[in-house]
Amino acid sequence: MEFIANLLFNIIGLGLSIITILFKLFVALLGGLVVLYKRKSVPEFIIAFIIIFLYPFLALFSVFVPHKIFHLRKDIRYHPAFVGRDPHIASVFALTGMISKFDGQITKEEIRKVRAYVGDFFGITAETIDLYQESFVFGKEHPEEVQEFSMFIANNYNRLVRSQIIFLFMLIAIKDDKSLDQSMEQFLLEIASIMGISFEEFKFLKMQATGQYSQHTDFNSQPPEVLIKKYSAVLGVDEQASFTDIKKAYRKLAKEYHPDNYKDKPQDYITLAENKMREINVAYEYLEKVKGDQSANPNYYKNR
């Protein structure tokens, strides 16, 4: 009996030890993810994970970890073109300088468009815009800094605002006939890629900016596998994603493109949001038909 009692005692002790370790791993992972979200640093995540695993109560303090503040490179930050100016607005002006100079010359019309579109986007006056003229010139003269300014914007704005900024650049870059040079398109695609904008999103923004967007939808116009790939990309999910994941992605995008987010924006951005919302709804409608019903299959529309 004593042997059995000791065995049970050891088993219970082992079980409690395993539960304790699993609990500490869970708490450490949770606290580490909070740090990763705020600091955007894998090494800091690893350090936080180890410390919290050893001292789980420290997980409570992870919520007080400050968000990492991203700055422009020091030599740019203290350049006369950026001192005393909002670095976010200055970075956008610098990139518009690169875009305007991309074809080798800057026209008065391009300058007018930059002032009008950037001014409307940030809601700043003509006098304030004048303060950023040097930032514009800096970008014009230093196209090699495209990575620096694009990364700064990527690290300081959410995806929705970054998408709007790319749209802003397109409005400035398109010609009077609503066309976009291939070389300019590649340059804008490079900026968008650095900012974390997907190619599918970039294509939508281009169609919107150049007036090529069409609301026509025909689910029978393409094979189901093509439409599944297309609409999965619109919602930003994998082609094999479950309907639960599709719903989550849809709700997130619907929240981002809600009209309330654009009520203070110029009409171009309101129209952009409305058309994007239509595209999101169409994508969800199709994927819901295909994946929402367990009895559905990729040939759903083919058989209608």
**Where are the chain's structural domains?**
1-64, 83-210, 224-291
Cut 0.75: pTM above it: no
**Residue 29 pLDDT grade (very low, low, confident, very high; cuts 50, 70, 90):** very high
pLDDT of residue 76: 96
Mean pLDDT calculated for residue range 217-228: 72
Task: Look up the CATH architecture of domain 224-291.
Answer: Orthogonal Bundle (1.10)
Least reliable range by pLDDT among 4-13, 116-125, 239-248: 4-13
Question: Of residues 40 and 201, which shows the higher confidence score?
Answer: 201
HSE, side-chain direction, 13 A CA sphere, residue 15: 6
pLDDT of residue 218: 58
Residues contacting residue 221 through CB under 8 Å, at least 6 positions apart: none
Least reliable range by pLDDT among 10-14, 80-84, 131-135: 10-14
Question: Of residues 273 and 148, which shows the higher confidence score?
Answer: 148
What is the dotted CATH code of the domain comprising 83-210?
Answer: 1.10.3680.10
Contacts 24+ apart (CB under 8 A), 229-233: 230/283, 231/282, 231/283, 231/284, 231/286, 231/287, 232/283, 232/287, 233/198, 233/200
Residues listed for the chain: 304
pLDDT of residue 263: 76
Residue pair 68/40 in contact (Cβ under 8 Å)? The answer is: yes
Residues contacting residue 168 through CB under 8 Å, at least 6 positions apart: 92, 117, 118, 121
Mean pLDDT calculated for residue range 259-263: 77
For the chain, the average pLDDT equals 86
- In our burial notation (b when 16+ CB lie closer than 10 A, e otherwise), range 163-191 reads bbbbbbbbbbbbeeeeebeeebbebbbeb
pLDDT of residue 300: 42
- Give the other-Cβ count within 10 Å of 256's Cβ: 17
Residue pair 139/145 in contact (Cβ under 8 Å)? The answer is: yes
Residue pair 301/220 in contact (Cβ under 8 Å)? The answer is: yes
Question: Of residues 98 and 270, which shows the higher confidence score?
Answer: 98
Given a cut of 80, is residue 247 above it in pLDDT?
yes
Mean pLDDT calculated for residue range 54-68: 83
Residue pair 96/114 in contact (Cβ under 8 Å)? The answer is: yes
CA distance 180 to 184: 7
Residue pair 102/141 in contact (Cβ under 8 Å)? The answer is: no
Decide whether 83-210 matches 224-291 in CATH topology. no
**Residue 211 pLDDT grade (very low, low, confident, very high; cuts 50, 70, 90):** confident
Of 187-191, 257-261, 297-301, the range with the highest mean pLDDT is 187-191
CA distance 241 to 30: 25
